Structure 1
Amino acid sequence: MSQLSPEFYLWAQYAAPPLLGAFIGYLTNRIAIRMLFRPLRPWRIFGLRVPMTPGVIPAKRVQLAENMGEVVGDHLLTSEEIGKGLRQDAFQQQLFHLLQGRVQELLARDFGTIRSALPEKFHIYLNLGVIGLSWQVKNQIAAFIRSPQFDAVAKQSVEHYFDELAEREIGELLPLKVRDSGYLFIEENLEKMFSDKWAAQWLDDFLHQKFYAAMRENRPLGEILPAPLPSLLEEIVVAQVPSFLAGAGVILRDKETVDRLVAGFCAGIDSFIDSLGAASDMVRGFLDMDLVEQKIREYLGEKEEDIVCWLQADEINGKIETLVGQCCHSLLQKPLAEILVCEDEEKMEALYQVLRAQILRFFRQEKVSALLVSVVKTNIESQIDSGALSVGEAAKKLFGGGIKRNSQQKVLRELQKIIQSEETGQAISQLVDSLVASLLNKKIGRLQKIVPAGVVDGVAESLQTVVSKMLESEVPGLVQSLGIRKIVTEKINSLDLLRLEKLLLSIMEEQFKYINLFGALLGFMIGCCNLVFLLVG
């Protein structure tokens, strides 16, 4: 081994104090940092505990946990800090997106019935809820329909309905087609009635009673007949005039009728000649009655068509109708005993039978029922202004001014009686049960098909507002009740020492490295100071 040079010893003498100081400083700090965590348990020699064992952190673990719990619970995670965090825009935005996603996910689910959507263990509660809901609905409906509020609503509804009904025209409720069907129905039933044996017997009894009573009372025929019948008979007789005149041509072609007309004319001429007095013989000497009769027959034959046209002219029709009407009216004003002059009971009975047969035959004619219904129709249509008359005005004409109020009261009483009856209550109960059962058995399906996108956003915003307010008001109290300080303390105490050491070293390892280097630097500087002192000394 070669000897070291004197220069080496000189340099070693100068370099040793700083290097040794740096080594001691580095080693001291490293040991000090190590002693924070080690040993984990106290060391004992001959039963005596070695000082500085265990390490600082294992020895002060409880105090460390309490201090960290105090820092976290009382200074870091306070109610105020959590409240501020909940109010931050970032949290609110995240909360909105979370709720929006949950709502969309819920609406996208294909739900079955309400019962199938619930777990089976909740079905008993669902059944109890359905029973309670049905009972409440039934009771509420029953209480309402027996309350003054229902009476007021029903009264208002009935009055409103009657007001609207009174303003509507009869033609709107009963169009002309419907009214014509009614008139036709009356006509058909009149024909059946007049051809029925029962109607014949009733008419026989009625006529028999009225006929003999009229003969005894000496009353005019118009007073004996029912109120509408005299005017109806006048209208019927007058209405037959055009038909009679239309058959004038047939009458003029009848030889027997022509003979009667010629005989009448000749008798009239002969009566006129007789009225001339002394000149009658002279006039009769100039006139050949056979020739007059021949000329009359020829004239009637030649002028047959002209006579028929003349009889069917409107002017002649009107005059004849007026004359026939006056004659009919005059006849109705005469007592029946004067019209039918007869004192023999058998003749009177025979006369009655003839009259009865004629009247019955008249009413059984094909066109009589149609004529009667036509008269009735004309009268009714005139009264209702061809359907333009309002229902209210028609009711006033028929029943008087108080009919509307009386009808409203009757309808209201009947309506209340029906709705408040036991049968209606049972029907309502069955209806409620049916509705509830149908709701429970109805498949819900996907709600997103019926819920617009805007509604989804609105629901999410509403939920966000509710959740934010709830968190803001409830979380501070929850934080206090959670006892974060105690939780942190217990958690740190429960940690394994090696894990706690690793956790702390992972946080401060870089800082510990610089502390070791700082110790080496400090030892180096102290060594340099010692070297300076040695050189100066």
Structure 2
Amino acid sequence: DLLSISYPSLIEALPSAARAPVLDAVSALQYRLADYIANILKGEETAAALTGFIDRRVDELLARRLNDAVSVEALDKLLGFVEERFRGLVTEAQFEGKIGDFVGARIDEVAHSQATLAEVFTPETVALIKERVDREVPPIVYHLAEIATSQGTRTQLGGLIKREVDDYYAQLSFFKKIFISRERIHTEVDDMVNKTLPRRVEEFLHGEAFEQRAEEFLNTTIDNVLARPINELVGQLAPDKLEMVKDQVTGRILMLARGPDLQTMISAYATDALARLRPHSLRALLQYISPDSAPRLKSFLAKSLLGVIAREETARAINAILHAQIERLLSAPIGRLSDHVSESAVSRAAAALTEGITTAAREHLPAAISEFDVGGIVRRKVSDYPLEKLEELVLSVAQQHLKKIELFGAIIGLMIGLLQAAYILAGAPGH
């Protein structure tokens, strides 16, 4: 029966006289809860509790390894996203335009700069350039020696000398020509060009003096070039040539960025970086980025959450939720309990309740009865009862019951007398 009754809402179930006080009490409780919640959210205990909670949770998170915090599938997806994003970035038309603008701006800036190349390059870079150039001196000397001592060079040099000899010989007088033989001079020229000159050239070019002079000359040339302003060096180029240089530099950069080699290198680098990061904990990774990353992260989270919690909007939102839930609780119809509780649950509850009561009665009732002295209680009650009252009670009870006994005795006596008379009358004729 209790389960089949349809109950109204909590407010409607209350007596009409009690509804207003109950609603006033609920409203007062809501206001007190609102003030309490606002004070709690802004209190120092809340700040300390929230800070401690964030510290514990962040420490637990940072103690985990990257492999445990992020699954392998997620890392693979991250790697694929990076590769796909890079390919999409370098193939965009905007990327090409930005590279062209950047290269053009940098070249124009350099072209109009009053600085020298020595100011652009560091001393270490200048020393490296000179060292690389000086390394090329021996190969250059060897190549020059080959050129100077080659058959073609010797032939050309011999021809020039012989032509000079012929011109000089033609100007001599007849008397001098008798003592000077042109053929002998030609023979000596051939001997000098083919034998003496190559040996002398090789000795000179391969000597330390020539190598030192060559290095000094190259270093001086480099210093002179580096000492000139950049705008003078670039100013010697025609405007169309400068634009061509910009286009070529932009094209080379785009070719490098869009080429498979760079994409493969970036993919390999990202894969290797993730493989090296996976065994490390999140705390170690943050400390590698910045030693104070963990404290800064904790401080940032604590300040952010405290700022959100301490705002008036947060307290109003919590109070609005609480008010809505209370209104819903008070106005929601209760309905029939059978709609909320199944018959099987009621049967199980009834069986469990019956079993519990029976078990409790079996366990505790005998002891309670044994401890309950009925006779003693009656005797104490009778002994403590006043004699006058007890006498009146006994007489009233006895008088009432004696009348019934007398009436009952009269009826029984009448019945016995009638039975005896009938018996006597029945036995008289036979006698």
User: TM-score normalised to the size of structure 1?
Assistant: 0.42
CA distance in 2: counterparts of 1:143 and 1:374, whole angstroms: 59
| Alpha-carbon offset, residue 132 of structure 1 | 3.1
Matches within 5 A, 1:388-407: 388=278, 389-398=280-289, 400-407=290-297
Matches within 5 A, 1:2-21: none
Matches within 5 A, 1:116-155: 116-155=12-51
Q: Which residue of 1 aligns with 2:401?
A: 507
CA distance in 1: counterparts of 2:123 and 2:316, whole angstroms: 59
Alignment of 1:433 onto 2:323 = yes
| Alpha-carbon offset, residue 506 of structure 1 | 3.6
Matches within 5 A, 1:313-392: 343=233, 345-347=235-237, 352-365=242-255, 368=258, 372=262, 374-385=264-275, 388=278, 389-392=280-283
| Alpha-carbon offset, residue 138 of structure 1 | 2.6
CA distance in 2: counterparts of 1:371 and 1:436, whole angstroms: 67
CA contact (8 A) 1:169 1:390 kept: yes
Structural RMSD (CA): 5.2
CA distance in 1: counterparts of 2:223 and 2:90, whole angstroms: 30
Relative CO higher for 1 or 2, CA cutoff 8 Å, sep ≥ 6? Answer: 1
Aligned residues: 285
CA 1:208–1:514: 2 relative to 1, 3 Å: closer
Secondary structure in 2 matching 1:188:
helix
| Alpha-carbon offset, residue 439 of structure 1 | 2.5
CA contact (8 A) 1:221 1:336 kept: no
| Alpha-carbon offset, residue 162 of structure 1 | 1.3
Q: Which residue of 2 aligns with 1:314?
A: none
CA contact (8 A) 1:168 1:391 kept: yes
Matches within 5 A, 1:82-481: 106=2, 109-170=5-66, 172-173=69-70, 174-192=74-92, 195=95, 197-210=97-110, 216-218=116-118, 275=150, 343=233, 345-347=235-237, 352-365=242-255, 368=258, 372=262, 374-385=264-275, 388=278, 389-398=280-289, 400-444=290-334, 445-446=337-338, 448-449=341-342, 453=349, 456=353
The worse-fitting range, judged by mean Cα deviation, of 146-155 and 412-421 is 146-155
CA contact (8 A) 1:176 1:387 kept: no
AA paired with 1:189? Answer: L
CA distance in 1: counterparts of 2:30 and 2:233, whole angstroms: 87
| Alpha-carbon offset, residue 152 of structure 1 | 2.4
CA distance in 2: counterparts of 1:138 and 1:184, whole angstroms: 52
Gaps of at least 5 residues in structure 2 are 126-142, 156-221, 369-384, 411-431
| Alpha-carbon offset, residue 126 of structure 1 | 3.7
CA distance in 2: counterparts of 1:335 and 1:210, whole angstroms: 19
Identity of aligned residues (%): 12
CA distance in 2: counterparts of 1:439 and 1:224, whole angstroms: 80
Q: Which residue of 2 aligns with 1:87?
A: none
AA paired with 1:509? Answer: K
CA distance in 2: counterparts of 1:424 and 1:348, whole angstroms: 68
CA distance in 1: counterparts of 2:38 and 2:300, whole angstroms: 22
Q: Which residue of 1 aligns with 2:134?
A: none
Secondary structure in 2 matching 1:401:
coil
Q: Provide Cα deviations, 1:480-534, integer angstroms capped at 9, x if missing partner.
A: xxxxx9xxx9xx9xxxxxxx99x87542215667999xxxxxxxxxxxxxxxxxx
| Alpha-carbon offset, residue 404 of structure 1 | 0.4
AA paired with 2:108? Answer: H
Q: Provide Cα deviations, 1:50-107, integer angstroms capped at 9, x if missing partner.
A: xxxxxxxxxxxxxxxxxxxxxxxxxxxxxxxxxxxxxxxxxxxxxxxxxxxxxxx656
CA 1:130–1:513: 2 relative to 1, 3 Å: closer
CA contact (8 A) 2:54 2:302 kept: yes
CA contact (8 A) 2:89 2:95 kept: no
CA 1:510–1:425: 2 relative to 1, 3 Å: closer
AA paired with 1:114? Answer: L
Q: Which residue of 2 aligns with 1:300?
A: none
CA distance in 1: counterparts of 2:11 and 2:109, whole angstroms: 81
CA distance in 2: counterparts of 1:276 and 1:506, whole angstroms: 170
Secondary structure in 1 matching 2:59:
helix
CA 1:430–1:179: 2 relative to 1, 3 Å: farther
CA contact (8 A) 1:215 1:336 kept: no
CA contact (8 A) 2:287 2:293 kept: yes
User: TM-score normalised to the size of structure 2?
Assistant: 0.50
CA 1:387–1:370: 2 relative to 1, 3 Å: farther
CA distance in 1: counterparts of 2:253 and 2:82, whole angstroms: 20
CA distance in 2: counterparts of 1:458 and 1:142, whole angstroms: 49
Gaps of at least 5 residues in structure 1 are 1-104, 226-267, 281-333, 469-484, 493-499, 517-537
Q: Provide Cα deviations, 1:414-463, integer angstroms capped at 9, x if missing partner.
A: 110101101111111111112222323445434654676287569989xx
CA radius of gyration, larger in: 1
Secondary structure in 2 matching 1:347:
coil
CA distance in 1: counterparts of 2:59 and 2:224, whole angstroms: 52
| Alpha-carbon offset, residue 118 of structure 1 | 3.0
